[in-house]
Amino acid sequence: MIRRLYEWILALAGKPSAPWALGAVAFAESSFFPVPPDAMLVPMAVSRPDKVWLYATIATVTSVLGGIAGYAIGALLFDSVGQWLFQLYGLTDKAHTFQESYAKYGHWVILLKGLTPIPYKLVTITSGFAHYDLFWFIALSIITRGARFFVLAGLLGRYGISIRAVLDRHLNVVVAISVVIIILGFFALKVVF
């Protein structure tokens, strides 16, 4: 199943709809969708290294726009949709502690969490819930999401052929390691907050 999805994304990279699909996933991941855009960005970039910077730009812009939607969920819908998302990730009791950390460390929380495999939607929704300054939220989101996707694009642009060879041979191992990293990120989030 993973191999078919990978091959589908590689085939998608050659189609005109590829940037739209990447943008939709990056937008959705920042507000409600559980799959990170890296799952599309990596195969697309190794398939089309000539478009790696375009893909990083699309992922950054749409991720920030999705982050604004997540912020709105936190600010306007936390009692319904926001609570549901926090329950989904088992972090309901941590939401208030996370909110309090914004008073002291808001800039750092956004900058650091935006770079990690911890779902960015938790940061965006909590930023809205904590009524973090919207201007600073957007500015810091541009910095952190841009850094994440452009560093990844640089690595993929430089080592894409080697990375594709590894993915082609060891896709299941790479996916398993990625899942473990994401799970560890959730545990780190629960420990820290």
| DSSP conformational letter for 16 | T
Inter-axis angle of helices 95-113 and 120-129, nearest 10: 120
d(CA 25, CA 116): 17
Average pLDDT over residues 7-30: 83
- pTM for the full predicted model: 0.76
**Per DSSP, which regions of 76-140 are E strands?**
none
- Could you give the count of Cα atoms lying within 13 Å of 70 in the half-sphere of its Cβ? 30
Report how far Cα 73 is from the mean position of its chain's Cα atoms.
17
Span 100-153, pLDDT tens digits = 777 678 888 788 877 776 778 888 988 898 889 999 999 999 999 999 899 989
Express as a percent the part of the chain with pLDDT over 90: 24
DSSP 98-162: HHHHHHHHHHHHHHHHTTSSS-HHHHHHHHHHTT--HHHHHHHHHHHHHHHHHHHHHHHHHHHHH
On whether the CB atoms of residues 56 and 153 are closer than 8 A, the answer is yes
Span 145-174, pLDDT tens digits = 999 899 989 888 887 777 767 766 766 676
Residue whose tokens read 């996916």: 175
Residue 54, pLDDT score: 94
Inter-axis angle of helices 2-13 and 18-29, nearest 10: 120
